[in-house]
């Protein structure tokens, strides 16, 4: 996705999280640091969320295997739930567990809109989730 469009989507999600009583922030240069880094981190005193974001116009999103492995590594070490957040134009946000995402032959993660609709949580479901 374009960098500006991606940033705008991330900012939207950060504001949504604050409106739902989570403190949230965007990471600096998550694409440029050699260290594992999610796009957004959020917490509400009880739950902590590490979120990799994608925003797109097309009907399916691909995420490189390494990005998902980094998300899982960061989340495990930090003590946070790893989430893949996908924003489809005119459909809004869906939140997926990496285990619910299909893999290509090369190991990339593939998220078609139908799969996001079927297996993803809405924002409301994400923030109301209880363990």
Residues that bind its own copies (CB under 8 A): 14-15, 18, 21-30, 33, 35-38, 41-46, 48, 73-80
d(CA 85, CA 41) in angstroms, rounded, equals: 12
Q: Of 14 and 63, which CB lies nearer to its own copies in the complex structure?
A: 14
State the minimum distance, in angstroms, from the CB of residue 102 to its own copies.
27
Q: Of 42 and 116, which CB lies nearer to its own copies in the complex structure?
A: 42
d(CA 102, CA 109) in angstroms, rounded, equals: 6
Residues that are catalytic: 30
């Amino acid at each position: 996705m374009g960098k500006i469009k991606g940033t705008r989507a991330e900012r939207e999600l950060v504001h949504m999280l604050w409106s739902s009583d989570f403190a949230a922030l965007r990471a600096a240069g998550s694409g440029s640091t050699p260290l594992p880094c999610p796009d957004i981190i959020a917490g509400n005193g009880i739950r902590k969320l590490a979120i990799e974001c994608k925003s797109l116009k097309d009907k399916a999103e691909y995420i490189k295997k390494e990005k998902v492995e980094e998300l899982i590594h960061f989340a495990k070490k930090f003590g946070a739930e790893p989430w893949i957040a996908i924003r489809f134009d005119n459909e809004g946000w869906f939140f997926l567990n990496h285990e619910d995402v299909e893999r290509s032959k090369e190991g990339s993660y593939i998220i078609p809109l139908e799969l996001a609709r079927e297996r993803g949580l809405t924002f409301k479901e994400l923030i109301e989730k209880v363990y």
